[in-house]
Amino acid sequence: VDVKAVAEFAGGLPSVVIARDYQYMCSDPGQELIKSDIRDLGLNRVVVASCSPRMHEPTFRNACADAGLNPYCFEMANIREQCAWVHSKGATDKAKDLVASAVAKAALLEPLERKKVNVVPRALVIGGGVAGIYAALEIADKGFETYLVEKYPSIGGHMAQLDKTFPTLDCSACILTPKMVEVARHKNIQLLTYSEVKEVNGYIGNYKVKIRKKPRYLDELKCTGCGECANACRLHGIILNEFDLGLSKRAARYVPFPQAVPLVYTVDSDRCIYITKGKCGKSPACVDACPADAIDFDQKEEVLEVEVGTIVVATGYDLLDPVKRPEYGYKYTEVLTGLEFERLSVASGPTSGQILINGKEPKEVVFISCVGSRERNGITNSNEDIQASKMEGAARNEYCSRVCCMYIAKQAHLVRDKIPDARVRILYNDMRAYGKGFEEFYNRVVAEGVEYIRKELEDEVEVLKRSEEDDNVVVRTRSGGIELEADLVVLANALVPRKDADELAKILKITKSGDGFYLEAHPKLRPLDTFTEGIFIAGCCQSPKDIPDSVAQAVGAAIRASIPLMRGEVEVEPLVAFVNDGICVGCGTCEAICPFDALSLEAGVMHVNEVVCKGCGSCRSACPSGAITMRHFKDEQIYAQIDAMCIQKV
């Protein structure tokens, strides 16, 4: 773009008093230039032609406000992303059109005022993993009442299932459990486990939340966590333990793990004999065994209604179900996921820390990286299992899960440490040791004798047996260039969005990115915000990340969520819809289409809740009578933009 020519062109447009060519308008000198021109020349409208409004429109609006001009009398023309970056020819002419259009709209802009809304001084944190724990503690430490909602019986998340953490090999439980206890004891935190958020209404500063608290069939205040009810349960040692990923068994009354917070027992209502059949012997064994008389089969589900000012979402992730990638041989007992390996390796696990497969220590161990990560859509392969996984409709994940390279390095170290004579090999695509201490840890593992075998990303892997009676499996690449025998294969399966991510996104009215994780408002400038004001995201619900990054993001999100609470009020953008009462016929079309529930019918006329409205324009386009107008985007303003561009072509 010939910026000088565009500036000269702009100077000749109607109503333009001055046009300047300045390279760094967003810098302090550039903003001072705008302020001085407003004051010295008495300007009542300002247009800046530069980058995307998403980047610096607030910067320029603030500059106008500092000089005494209403910030909504400012208009921005995007001649970078929409022009210079996408056109090799004709960019200057297009830039002139965009500037003419912006000037025409600016002439019709109206001064607008922001509204102030009082803020309820409480916060909600959804998710009780390490990110949710730190977010809740950070907000509570600032003196604000905080609700921490966790859908499972205990907080702790996936981190509670781990053995060691990379690269320092700290005991995961040793790091996490003190923080879990701190949450339970914090005077400003109300811990709601075995609970789910079912409804959220309102807006920043004033969210009304309904939380479904599932019955444990036990008085939490009476329960001492002694475990006598579980020992007496007639299903003791029969039900697969989800916390151990089915590698151990539990009773119908259980705690997920010994360090659970809160340490109170829960009934598996889908399996409990008394609940499912109405009778459990002459009397429920758990009732007879409980020394605290805490069992209560009359307990009902509760719906709690709370009001909060801000919300932090830290719901974490799921791990890819390897059944969806049958080529990796998960049907064989010799093939485990990375998290299953963690439960075998940890001292509190089902084997007390012994790594055992088919009752014996493995001697040939192969780790496979990128199982469900960094996949390329459209790869073809003659192997039936690989084709089957694609035909099932399982999404192919092009993103990197970020933690796999290091956690299989850690697990390889654990094998070498516990089984010194085991041969350990890692089949990988690329080694991504990007974090603090990661490269050093990788070098340490290599020095310990772990063999790294590199393959091409497109050279897909399959795991099979030569015969069903064989105790070993064969790991080979599609090309045939690699073939390894193993009596244990560990899959580094991808971190994927939670199964309930869609449902919660609809409840919170937040958006997701193409990979299914929650979408931040801006990847660089607002990485913790969502597009819904007052709702923030942290941890792996936003994207795969390791523990330090999750904690850092959680603390940042908590600080962002605390700012409105500390201020006591927030300002709301005035760029919203408004209804012409004289034209509205009350048909309700707009109310049905509004994604933010900002419209309501009152006395036969539609009304807009300006605090809830986000100015998306859906109602305007749907209104059959033309009764709805968008502030700052009125019809006459848009028509003026179109006319200005068309005039340049005549």
Tens-digit pLDDT profile for residues 481-540: 999 999 999 999 999 999 999 999 999 999 999 999 999 999 998 999 999 999 999 999
**From CA 366, how far away is CA 428, in angstroms rounded?**
10
Pairing of strands 451-454, 122-126: unpaired
Statement: residue 650 has pLDDT above 80: no
Instruction: Say whether 25 sits in a helix, a strand or coil.
Output: coil
Backbone angles phi, psi at 552, to 5 degrees: -60, -45
CA-to-CA separations, 407 to 404, 429, 545, in angstroms, rounded: 5, 15, 12
600 beta partners: 607
Instruction: Say what the pTM is.
Output: 0.89
**From CA 417, how far away is CA 439, in angstroms rounded?**
19
Statement: residue 356 has pLDDT above 80: yes
CATH for 320-496 is: 3.50.50.60
54 pLDDT tier (thresholds 50, 70, 90): confident
Q: What is the pLDDT of residue 468?
A: 84
Q: What is the pLDDT of residue 509?
A: 92
Q: What is the pLDDT of residue 388?
A: 52
How is domain 573-631 classified at the CATH fold level?
Alpha-Beta Plaits (3.30.70)
| Nearest of 598, 586, 596 to residue 624 by alpha carbon | 586
Q: What is the pLDDT of residue 384?
A: 54
Rounded (10°) CA dihedral 362, 367, 372, 373: 160
Statement: residue 296 has pLDDT above 50: yes
Burial environment of residue 157 by CB neighbours within 10 A (0 to 12, 13 to 18, 19 or more)? buried
For the chain, the straight-line distance linking the first and the last C-alpha, in angstroms and rounded, comes to 22
Residues 6+ apart with CB under 8 A from 407: 166, 338, 492
Q: Alpha helix (H) ranges present in 214-370?
A: 228-232, 273-277, 285-289, 338-345
**Sign of the alpha-carbon dihedral angle for 619, 620, 625, 627:** positive
50 beta partners: 78
Q: What is the pLDDT of residue 377?
A: 59
Statement: residue 328 has pLDDT above 90: yes
Instruction: Say whether 82 sits in a helix, a strand or coil.
Output: helix
| Residue corresponding to tokens 């908590």 | 558
Share of the chain above pLDDT 90, in %: 91
Pairing of strands 122-126, 115-118: unpaired
For the ranges 133-137, 195-199, 291-295, 388-392, the lowest mean pLDDT is seen at 388-392
Q: What is the pLDDT of residue 276?
A: 96
Q: What is the DSSP letter of 81?
A: I
453 beta partners: 427
471 pLDDT tier (thresholds 50, 70, 90): confident
Q: What is the pLDDT of residue 393?
A: 45
Q: What is the token pair recorded at 345?
A: 């390796």
Statement: residue 147 has pLDDT above 50: yes
Q: What is the pLDDT of residue 380?
A: 37
Q: What is the DSSP string of 492-545?
A: EEPEE--TTHHHHHHHHT--B-TTSSBPPSBTTTBTTB-SSTTEEE-GGGTS--
pLDDT tens profile 204-257: 999 999 999 999 999 999 999 999 999 999 999 999 999 999 999 999 999 999
Q: What is the pLDDT of residue 391?
A: 43
Statement: residue 387 has pLDDT above 60: no
Q: Over range 66-81, report the average pLDDT.
A: 96
Q: What is the token pair recorded at 407?
A: 């956690």
Q: Over range 98-104, report the average pLDDT.
A: 96
Statement: residue 571 has pLDDT above 60: yes
649 pLDDT tier (thresholds 50, 70, 90): low
Q: Over range 344-359, report the average pLDDT.
A: 96
**From CA 36, how far away is CA 273, in angstroms rounded?**
79
Rounded (10°) CA dihedral 102, 106, 112, 114: 30
**From CA 508, how far away is CA 579, in angstroms rounded?**
26
Q: Alpha helix (H) ranges present in 81-121?
A: 91-106
Q: Over range 613-640, report the average pLDDT.
A: 94
197 beta partners: 211
Q: What is the pLDDT of residue 105?
A: 97
| Nearest of 291, 279, 281, 250 to residue 267 by alpha carbon | 250
Fold agreement between 320-496 and 573-631: no
Domain assignments of the chain as residue spans, ordered by start: 3-112, 228-289, 320-496, 573-631
pLDDT tens profile 365-377: 999 999 999 997 5
